[in-house]
Chains A and B, each alone.
Chain A
Amino acid sequence: MIGNPWFSWSWVTENSDLLATRTGQHVGLTLEAVAIAALIAVPLALLVVRRRRLAAAFVGVAAVLYTVPSLALFAILAPLLGIGRTPVLIGLVLYALLVILRQTLAGLQSVDPAVLDAARGIGYGPVQITVRVRLPAALPAVVSGLRLATVSTVALVTVGVVVGYGGLGQLMFEGFRNNFFRAEISAATLACLLLAFVLDVALWGAGRALTPWTRRRGA
C-alpha cells in the first residue's frame, strides 16, 4: 500500500488524458445544456412578460419543478430515454431553463415604468418596447441568470453518475470504488470548482462587454 494522499500532483500528470476527456465531457454537457436552456428561456420570457398571470404561472411551475431533486429527475428520465448522455442533458436543460427564465422575467419586469411611458410617448409599439427597451434593460439580469445556471450546472453534471454519465463525477465515483482513492476524487473536485470559476468569470466578462452603460453609473 503506497498510502492514500488527499491530493497527488503526480496522479494528475499521469492521468492528464483521462482528466482532459472527462473535463471535455463535462464542459460540453454544461455549455450545451445552458445554451439550449437560454435559447428557450429568453424568448419564452419575452413572450409572456406582458401577460402577468401567464408569467406568474410559468414561475410557479418552474418553482415546483425546481423542488424535484436532480437525482430523482435523472432517475425518472433515464429509464424512459435510455441510459447515458440524453437524460442527463435533458435534466440539466430543465434546471438551467428554470433559473434563466426566472431571472430574465424578473429583469424584464423591473424596468422603470417611466422609461416604458417615455418609449410609448415617442411612438414605440409593444414589440419595439420589448426588443429595444425591456431587453437591453434586462440584459444584466439575463447574464446573472446565465452565470447562476452555468455554475449550478457544473455541479449538477456530477450527479449524472447515477445514470452513468457524469463527466468529472465519473472520476469521483471511480476513485471511490477504486479502494477510496482520494487523489482521484479530489482532483476531479478541484477541476469542477476551477471549471465553474472559469466559466463564471468568462460570462461575467461577456456581460460587462455587452452592457457598457451599466459601468458609467458605477454599478
Chain B
Amino acid sequence: MSAGAGDVVQEALRYLNDPLVWTQPGGVLDLTGQHLLMTLAAVGIATAVALPLGAWLGHSGRGSGLVVAVSNTSRALPTLAIILLLATAGLFGNTATVIAAAIFAVPVLLAGAYDGVRGADPAARDAARGLGLSSARVLWQVEVPLAVPLVAAGVRTAVVQVVATIPLAALAGGGGLGQIVAFGMGTQRYGQVLAGGVLVAALCLVIDGVLAAAQRAVTPRPLRAVRALR
C-alpha cells in the first residue's frame, strides 16, 4: 500500500465530485445509460427464451432434472470465461456482453417459471380441468397467475445478476460502468477504481430496491408470504 488508504479515498471523492466526470460523453451518466440498456436487452432475450420454456416444462411436469442441472452448472461456470470466449469468437463489446449476461440469466428465470407453474395448487388445477378447460387454458388461466410471485422473484434476481455481470465485460472491451474500474486499474488510478466499485454497487442496490417494490406490487396480496428463493 504505497499511497495509503486515506489518499485513495480522497482521490475517489475528488473523482466523484467532478461534474465533468458525470456529464462528459462517455462519462458516468452515459455509462449508466449504456449499462441499463444492455441490462434491458439481456433480460429481454433471456425472458423470451426462459419463461415460455420454464412454464411449458412446469406444465408438462417434464425436465425437472434438466432445470436443476442447468442451474447448478451455471453456478460453477465462470462468467468471465464465457465473456472472453465469446470475444475470441469475434463477438466484442456490447453484443457479447448482452449475450453472456443473457446466458447467465436464463437458469434463474427458468427455475422461477418452472417452480412457479409446477408448484401451483393441484386442487386449483384439478378444478380447472373438471370445468372442462383445455390444457393450454389451464396453463394460461390457472397456473401462470399462481406462478406470478415466483416468476417475479426470478426476474428480480435475474435483473440484479445481469447488472452485476455487465461490468465484467469491461475487461473484454465492453461498455457500461465497469469501464471506470477497468480503466482505473489499467492506469493505476486506484481512487478511480474505488469510485467505479462504489458506483456499480450503488446501481445494483438501487435497482434491487426498485424491483423489490415492483415485485410486491405485482404479487397478489394473499400470495405475498411466499419468499423469494435464490
Contacts and interface: CB of A to CB of B under 8 A. Distances in A.
B78 A158 contact: yes
A155 B79 contact: yes
A162 B172 CA distance: 11
Nearest to B80: A158
Interface in A63-100: 64, 67-76, 78-83
B196 interface: yes
A176 B167 contact: no
Interface centre among A73, A152, A158, A164 (most CB of B within 10 A): A158
B204 interface: yes
Interface string A160-196: 0111101011001101100011100110110011001
Interface centre among B76, B78, B79, B193 (most CB of A within 10 A): B78
B85 A71 contact: no
Interface centre among A64, A68, A192, A200 (most CB of B within 10 A): A68
Contacts of B81: 158, 169, 172, 185-186, 188-189, 192
Interface residues of B, number: 43
A4 interface: yes
Nearest to A179: B88
B77 to A, nearest CB: 7
Contacts of B85: 182, 185-186, 189
B218 interface: no
Contacts of A196: 76
Interface stretch (B44-52, B60-68, B177-185): B177-185
B84 A163 contact: no
Contact of B76 (A4, A78, A154, A161): A154
A151 interface: yes
Sorting the interface of chain A by its residue count into under 10, 10 to 19, 20 to 34 or 35 or more gives 35 or more
A3 to B, nearest CB: 12
Interface in B5-28: 5, 8-9, 12
B190 interface: yes
Contact of B194 (A75, A164, A192): A75
A162 B171 contact: yes
A73 B201 contact: yes
B214 interface: no
A197 interface: yes
A73 B1 contact: no
B200 A71 contact: yes
B191 interface: yes
Contacts of B76: 151-152, 154-155, 192-193, 196-197, 200
Contacts of B190: 78-79, 83
A76 B197 contact: yes
Nearest to A156: B78
A159 interface: yes
Contact of B78 (A74, A79, A169, A176): A169
Interface of A: 4, 64, 67-76, 78-83, 148, 151-152, 154-155, 158-159, 161-164, 166, 168-169, 172-173, 175-176, 180-182, 185-186, 188-189, 192-193, 196-197, 200
5 contacts: A4-B88, A73-B197, A163-B185, A169-B78, A175-B84
